[in-house]
Amino acid sequence: MASNPPGKCCGTVHARHEGDALGKMETLNGVETYVARPSDKVHNGIGILFLTDVLGHKLHNAQLLADQFAANGYLTIMPNIIHNDPVPTENAPKDFDIMKWFVGEAPHGKVSHTPDTVFPVVNAAVEWLRGEGGIKKLGAVGYCYGAKYVTVAMGEGKVDVGYVAHPSFVDEAELAAIKGPYSIAAAETDHIFPVEKRHKSEEILRETKQPYQITLYSGVEHGFAVKGDLSKPAVKFGKEQAFLQAVHWFDQWLL
């Protein structure tokens, strides 16, 4: 594995970020999807597929991030890859087991969250973007759980440019197969993407001969780019810079 499977920390929300979500829920190719459309600044024919962590497309913080990508000119869609069955953040059973959630074992999960249920959603989103959405060049962002599917989509040539933050569940072979520029935002403290996995990922990326970037943020933990407590200066800085890292990456390789 280039990154370990998710753990309990993946379902922790340290803070609800301030601001109103501006996008809308739409049904695209049969999938409920949060859609953030650019207004003043528009990169025509260029879009972003946003693949979430285990908390899904209804998480307020994730919606704000999608809105921010749209504010930077990118049509951004965030499909329901978790099938309306997020990992519980409140009133979670003490014995909640995220690995049982993945396979839909009650009471930990309602449906399976394995690749056979996620890939059809990702593929439907890509098909909409490339078709009705009018997207010619496509970037993808993946946070934690979503990182695996960004990586696989790049290996299959469905996505042109990728960015992931605190990734999980990415296999080494999947990372080695990417066919475009790939950027990683990593947390200093992260047992899912620890030092040895980060260094191994660097070795693999170097061998791909693709443009790559790995940025390490100090003073932050797994999940900081979406769910961090912004009252902490290091977390606020890391979250904001990780977003700018993504935007600058797309500006460089998509425009």
The catalytic site residues sit at: 144, 190, 222
d(CA 168, CA 6): 6
Q: Which residues contact 95 (CB under 8 A, 6 or more apart)?
A: none
198 phi, psi to nearest 5 deg:
-65, -45
d(CA 97, CA 72): 38
Two tokens, residue 236: 């606020």
Two tokens, residue 238: 């890391």
Taking the mean position of all CA atoms in its chain, how far away is CA 196?
A: 21
1 with 197: CB under 8 angstroms?
A: yes
d(CA 210, CA 85): 35
d(CA 18, CA 14): 13
d(CA 34, CA 62): 10
Sign of CA dihedral 61, 129, 173, 163: negative
Q: Give burial (CB, 10 Å; 0-12/13-18/19+) of 93.
A: exposed
Helix axes of 60-71 and 233-253: crossing angle, nearest 10 degrees: 40
